[in-house]
Amino acid sequence: MKAHPEIKTEYLIRLYESGKSLPEISEMVKITDQAIWLRLKNAGVKLRSISDAIKLSFKTGRSIILSGKNHPCWKGGRYKHKDGYIHINSGRDREHRVVWEKANGKIPLGWVIHHLNGIRDDNRLENLCALPIKRHSPATIVEPYQQRIIKLEKIIKKREKELSKY
């Protein structure tokens, strides 16, 4: 016995050949897509392969490609590279350089953008400064910070002693 004899198989064939998918036809005629598939197969209709069905769904806009902004794991085009810097735009640009250039214009030739606190993924504008490559060395960058850290640690220990009296 045929399910839903009031719906003609010829009508289902016309819908399928016009580019409708089985789930779309199912929604239109209120028959399960398995029942439609069986009717089309029994009528001798050459059914689409899985790859053809997928291609058709993208072509007609029923599906979207899950890449870039459409992908559920999209993080705004940024990722942390193994070098510690945040890269954007498919890994082509380092974020700290883009942030600095947006605020200050093109980076001069022979200059680098330095992270003041030494944290490579802290790309707040107040943490960035432009330096000539010659000044961007451990002698000019690291040693003054180490001396400042030692001074601050002494101040903290002194304050901790004062607070422990109470």
Q: Write the pLDDT tens digit of every residue in 109-128.
A: 999 998 887 788 999 998 89
Phi-psi map region of 40: left, alpha, beta (phi>0 left; psi -120 to 50 alpha): alpha
Q: Are 153 and 110 in the same domain?
A: no
69-122: pLDDT as tens digits:
777 777 778 888 898 999 987 667 999 999 999 999 999 999 999 888 778 899
Q: Are 115 and 152 in the same domain?
A: no
Lowest mean pLDDT across 116-120, 133-137, 139-143, 161-165: 139-143
Q: Which range marks the domain in which residue 103 is found?
A: 78-134
Return the structure tokens found at 85: 């810097």
Q: Are 122 and 148 in the same domain?
A: no
Residue 106 lies in a domain: yes
Q: Which of 153, 84, 154 is nearest to 122 (CA)?
A: 84
Residue 76: other Cβ atoms inside 10 A: 7
Question: Could you tell me if 106 and 125 are in contact, meaning their C-beta atoms sit under 8 angstroms apart?
Answer: no
Residue 46 lies in a domain: yes
Q: Which helix (H) or strand (E) segment is 94 a member of?
A: strand 93-94
Q: Are 130 and 145 in the same domain?
A: no
**Nearest-angstrom CA–CA distance, 130 and 148:** 21
Residue 153 lies in a domain: yes
- Positive/negative CA dihedral, 101, 104, 110, 111: negative
Residue 162 lies in a domain: yes
Residue 68 lies in a domain: no
**Nearest-angstrom CA–CA distance, 14 and 106:** 61
Residue 72 lies in a domain: no
Lowest mean pLDDT across 41-55, 57-71, 123-137: 57-71
Residue 150 lies in a domain: yes
pTM for the predicted model, two decimal places: 0.47
